[in-house]
Structure 1
Amino acid sequence: MNDHSPAESWRLRADIDLGALRANVRALRERASGGADLMAVVKADGYGHGMVPCARAAREAGATWLGTATPDEALALRAAGDTGRLLCWVWTPDGPWRRVVEADIDVSVSGRWALDRVTAAARAAGRTARVHLKSDTGLGRNGCQPADWPGLVAAARAAEAEGAVTVTGLWSHFACADEPGHPSIAAQQVAFAEALATAARAGLDPEVRHFANSPATLTLPAAHYDLVRPGLAVYGLSPSPEIGAPEDFGLRPVMTLRAALASVKRVPGGHGVSYGHAYTTPGATTLALVPAGYADGIPRHASGNGPVLVAGKWRTIAGRVAMDQFVVDLGGDTAAVGDEAVLFGPGDRGEPTAEDWARAAGTIGYEIVTRIGPRVPRVYHGERVEPAERSS
């Protein structure tokens, strides 16, 4: 759906401001030190915002790379017409190695088994695979351990000499970049510098070295190298709320989640609300029903605490979040069926933000936006219209 389509009925929708996303990408590019390029990470359906429209908007704003977690995400971008540089990094042995090589998608390799798979795929495809070697500098997830790194880079160099692969990137990922001053940050930087030196001694000369995720892009210019790799910040949320809100970094949240009230009714005092009667009305009041629940991605952990703007005021969820709905107590205020309830947005019109929901649910903003489910339609605003479309 986009803002050029006629209005449709809706119970719950996520409005996606692609103009804000473009502005965020431009702001992040300005922060990239030393002329570093920018990779917009669009995994997890564009952090819940819609992968393909957000990828296009990021490209329009100057993102020279896109990043995905899974190869299927990367292949979907190719199928949607994206032809630019594209990296995917979560692989299993039975992944679509040959399809990705044939689609000119860069592949992350964290161990010899993966290098063997991509080399075999390149031979079968009759073309050279583009590979980024990932070093585990201390995060402890994917990536090659320091003891195994010399062997991996030597094997990659041999595969290069054969013509099966080109090592286009060397990279790693921070564990605590959202906590400036954490001792692991400096330790990881040292480890990455050592990994780069080992690769250079093996004869590797990559196109890009990259380390900086969203928090490092915003706060750690020494880690920008040739390419920064922001994810959450592209969508206008702060990866480090303790040190700055989005506006402090020149960012604007892209998603606004809103619902149409499905019921408004008067009830007496002492009336139980939702499952388990975790909330009981303190007196005669008006209850409004918001048709959104945990099947849509509303955190059940926000029961009794999640914020929502209804009838011009912040309210909190009364009782438990159910699968498809929750209730708010309007007290002495009134509303009508069909009135708008805003769960979160940029916050500049008085509505809660995704970060407010993260605090209410005891989680992080990343989870709030990525968990919004597929039955919630995304309505895109600010999509660019091609000249031929404008004249039609």
Structure 2
Amino acid sequence: MTKSPSGRRVRPAALAVLLAAFTAPATGTASAQGASVNVSPSTADPDYATIVQLRGTGFQSVQGGHGGVYVLFGWVSNPAGGWQPSQGGGAGSTYRYVQDTEARDNNGFQRYLAFPGSDTESSANGVVNPDGTWQAQLVIPGARFRAVDRAGNTTQVDCTRVQCGVITIGAHGVVNPANETFTPVTFAVPRREPAAPPPSRQSPPATTTTTAPAPKPSVEAATTQTRAGERIEVTGTGFTPGENVAVTLHSDPVSLPPARAGDDGRFTYTATIPEHVAEGVHRLVFTGERSTVETSVELTVRAAARTSPSSPSAETPAQAQVQGEKGNALLVALLVGGAVLLVVAAVAVVLRLRRRVRDIEGNDT
């Protein structure tokens, strides 16, 4: 049994509730009552990138709280539960996801939603509204991707063999079971529009007209020399008006966000070369979704520019989780150390008072 601040004795269970009341944040929260994510479309192309629209409901929103929600695409070991960081799960072991940079304008494979008024809201792709709702756009690169664990080991994930989907977890190392969800996504080749039937033999002969041949698709890069991690602008012509154009970096295939042809069959596209791409000659391949035409441009990629050792590096959700655990452990150690110092100081004061009382009593005698 332990005494409460009012002097009453309380049981351990009640003590836990009491401590939670003292340590709870002063800001208001909207508690999640069954967080869920709607994915539209819920079926993605296995071979090309698919852009999906996401809407979350029932999430916990902490006004002014640090962190928020990471939105990822990947695989979990057990969709029914047990993969979550709050239950001891970790990136690379119980869940794997498509890596992307932490920048706000990354390739779209990963999204970050901040709490309203958070110190990181300026770098987020949106916020978790006070009513627990949010919206975001996510790029699914296809049914196959490579995932990297905390030790740097690479694993190939094939979503045609295992169940993949949209993952949400607490961001910046703040583990939050209320905001951990997994929404399955299926893969299927989209239906193609059938070709027009040939003219009937009984039809009268059509008038012969001369039309200019359709231009062949082509792409041109602003420069053929670049570095890993840098951006390069590419213009394309000759595609079917309004069609999506899949973008893939070869020779080791890496799916990039798709381009979209305008009404004139042209597009201007900015490609971000991934930082892990090896030095050498590579190809950016552009494939029309409806026309199925394919064309490419050759690039010479050099190693990524070295950054200053003092500059902060972007942290992945897995690294953020580890840093958050270390920060929690450090906080506990500081609190315990502070408590010990207070006890030592109190004992010193009591001993000094006792010594002074003995001195006074000795003088009186």
TM-score above 0.5, yes or no: no
Q: Which has the higher contact order (CA 8 A, sep 6+)?
A: 1
Tell me the TM-score normalized by structure 1: 0.21
Please identify the structure whose Cα radius of gyration is greater.
Answer: 2
Instruction: Name the structure with the higher helix share.
Output: 1
